[in-house]
Each structure stands twice: as C-alpha cells, then as structure tokens.
Amino acid sequence: MELPLFSILAALLGLILGSFATCAGYRLASGGSVTSPARSFCPACGHTLTFRENIPLLGFLLQAGRCRFCQAKIPLRYPLAECANAGFAIAAASVFGPSWHFLVAVGFGTLFVVLSLIDLETCLLPDVLTLPGAVLAFLASALLPRLHTLGIGWRAALVGALVGGGGLWLIAWLYRRIRGEDGLGLGDAKLMLLAGALLGPVAVPLTLFAGAVLALPVGLVVARRAARQGEGDGLRTALPFGPFLCAGAATYLLAGPQFLRWWLGPALF
C-alpha cells in the first residue's frame, strides 16, 4: 500500500477512534457506561445524534459547533481530541507503516486520549482503564517483534513497568511522608506502569521529563488565574498531570530514539 493512501486511511481511523475517545471519556468521567446508551447524544439536552451529526469533525463543522436541537455549544475538546488522534495516527503510519505495530500504536494513542479527557474532567485516572491497559501493554511488548519503540520484549516490559509504576509510587509515598499531603495521585503511577510496560525503562524518565516540561507553562497560567480569583495561594492549585504524561508517552512512542540520538549523540545511543 502506498504511503499517501495509507496515511489517508490512518487519518480516517484516527478521527473515528478519536470520536469514540471523546464519547468514552465523557461517559466514564460522568460515571456512566461506554456502551449504554448505544447511540451518541447531546450532553446538554439528551438529543440522540443522527448519523450526519455524529461524523467525526465534519459533524462539528456542519453544525457550526452547536447542537442542532437545543443550540448548546459543543465543547471544543471534542473536535480537538479527534484532530489530535488523527494527527497521531498519521505520524504512527509514517513510523510503523501498515503493520500490527501501527494498530497497537493507534490503540494506545486512543487510550491516552481517553485517559487525558477523564483526568481533565475529574482529576482521576480510573483503574478500569490503566490496569487492563498495563496488561495489554505487557502482552504487546512480549508478543510483537521489535520495531522502533514497540515489541521491546517481556524482560524490558517488566523492568519498565517496575521502574515506571514503582518509581512514581515511591515518589508519591515520599512526598506524602515529608509534606503530609498528596502530591501525585496513584493514578499517575498506574499510568506510568502502563507506559513502562509498553515502552521500556528508558522511556520512563523521558516521559516524566516531557510531562513536566509540558505541564510547567500550563501550571503557571492556572496558578496565576487562581491567585487572581482568590482561590487558594495559586501555586498550590491542583493540576491533573495525567494528560501531560500521556503526551510524553505518545511522543516517545513516535520519536523517542531520534530524540535520544539528538541529545546523547549516535555514539552513546
């Protein structure tokens, strides 16, 4: 299959899975079920969406960002999540080509989108997604042949899971012991358990570093806004870290080795 055609198909797959991710994220964040009701609906009025209204991205554009039934604004995070998933799928297509590795990459990319949406809404990363995701990540690492960042083997997956999940759990435990309050949630540790099992131990510090770099400017903006509104002391404002860890893991999945070669040089990596 020629790369341009495969990239187009990958983009369509990414949009479809991104649409599913927004639906799953909203329903799980609201305490509902992913599969019930079977049809998508407007969160504001409950109107069941037609096929045309439910077309990923295009449905949002055709309705000018509003529900056709009640005129409520459709949250911008829906089309943004769909576009992000499509962009990730296109990048994964160029990295892995038409292979099982591509499907695994897009599947975990979609899972990262779902987890990010839930964490942004609730400041929680549900065990029902992170723990089965970690098991699937371990199986993918053990069963797939090595290609780029996937198929690392069961030994590297086990070490990565221990370093990722155990390391972040230890940091959270130490912070609580020293400060007497939670700094990192255990959901973040379980997310890093998943990332470590999928990408290996080398990916763990880079994912944490990338997540911290991405979170820093956002955290400063949120803290400044909270201080202006008189909500606490600003710098102690809670900020969900899961979306930034997901972004870091997704970036390593696509370009981790290239970054390491640029940073350390080809002689060291």
**2-23 per-position pLDDT tens digit:** 668 899 999 999 999 999 999 8
Q: Residue 268 pLDDT > 60, yes or no? A: no
The token pair that represents 157 in the structure block: 């997956």
For residues 86-92, give the mean pLDDT: 96
Residue 264 is predicted with a pLDDT of 72
Q: Is the peptide bond before 98 cis (omega within 30 degrees of 0)?
A: no
Q: Distance between CA atoms of 77 and 60, rounded to whole angstroms? A: 11
Q: Which of 53-57, 75-79, 106-110, 159-163 has the lowest mean pLDDT?
A: 53-57
* Contact assessment for residue 203 and residue 160, using Cβ atoms and an 8 Å cutoff: yes
* Contact assessment for residue 151 and residue 194, using Cβ atoms and an 8 Å cutoff: no
pTM score, two decimals?
Answer: 0.89
Q: Distance between CA atoms of 202 and 163, rounded to whole angstroms? A: 9
114-128 tens-digit pLDDT:
999 999 988 889 999
156-202 tens-digit pLDDT:
999 999 999 988 888 877 877 777 666 666 889 999 999 999 999 99
The token pair that represents 196 in the structure block: 């470590």
∠ CA 205-212-80, nearest 5°, is 115
Written as one letter, the residue type at 250 is A
